[in-house]
Amino acid sequence: MTEHVDEGPLSATVRVFIALAPPDDAKDELADALRPAYDAYPRMRWNRIEDWHITLAFLGELPVAAVPLLRPPLAHLAATHRPLELALRGGGHFDERVLWSGIDGDVDRLQRLAGDVRTVVKECGIAFPERPLRPHLTLARARRDDPTSVVTVADGLAAFVGRRWPTERLHLVGSNFGRGPAPIRYRDIASWTFDGA
């Protein structure tokens, strides 16, 4: 098992989530399918491709001191789980404002992994908002005065089927960059390879 740690600058708190990330070629496949939408809807707030992720647990704002508590149990969790086979598929939207691509493949195992991740977080004594897992990859948000772009783009993605890929790492991610009107920026706090047999 290998751990990657980013020792970048931290404030007193950090917004934290635990996630999976598609490989670059799977993201490129979806980006190619989105190219007409990028051109047609430049006012949408498109997420950076390098920030695309599948959230397993959103922990919200945590004191920086709480974050190291998560590292050993998440490392153990990754070491005991084998990679999942996933694919990006189709498109949809939340409330006509948030555009997403769906997740296909080992979705049952993905749900179990998310359950295990959430159990680990609770065992660390960290409270977080528990919401049912709806596996997806957030792509963009519409501006408040734009009620139709997201729905149109989601309809255009309905037939998209990406190639399957194995999940390689479990990521502990911080998003304390980009607060305010600027786009949110994510960075890995740490990540671990899936080494289970």
Query: What pTM does this model have?
Result: 0.88
**10 pLDDT exceeds 50?**
no
Cα dihedral value 61, 63, 67, 70, nearest 10: -70
Decide which of 20 and 6 is more confident.
20
pLDDT (tens digit per residue) in 45-76: 999 999 999 999 999 999 989 999 999 999 99
Tokens, residue 122: 């609770």
Degrees, nearest 5: CA angle 78-102-87: 55
Please state, in angstroms and rounded to a whole number, the distance separating the CA atoms of residues 88 and 27: 9
Which residue of the set 53, 81, 93, 171 is catalytic? Answer: 53
Is 53 one of the catalytic residues? yes
At 55 the pLDDT is 96
Which residue of the set 81, 93, 136, 171 is catalytic? Answer: 136
At 31 the pLDDT is 97
pLDDT (tens digit per residue) in 68-77: 999 999 999 9
**3 pLDDT exceeds 70?**
no
Is 171 one of the catalytic residues? no
**7 pLDDT exceeds 80?**
no
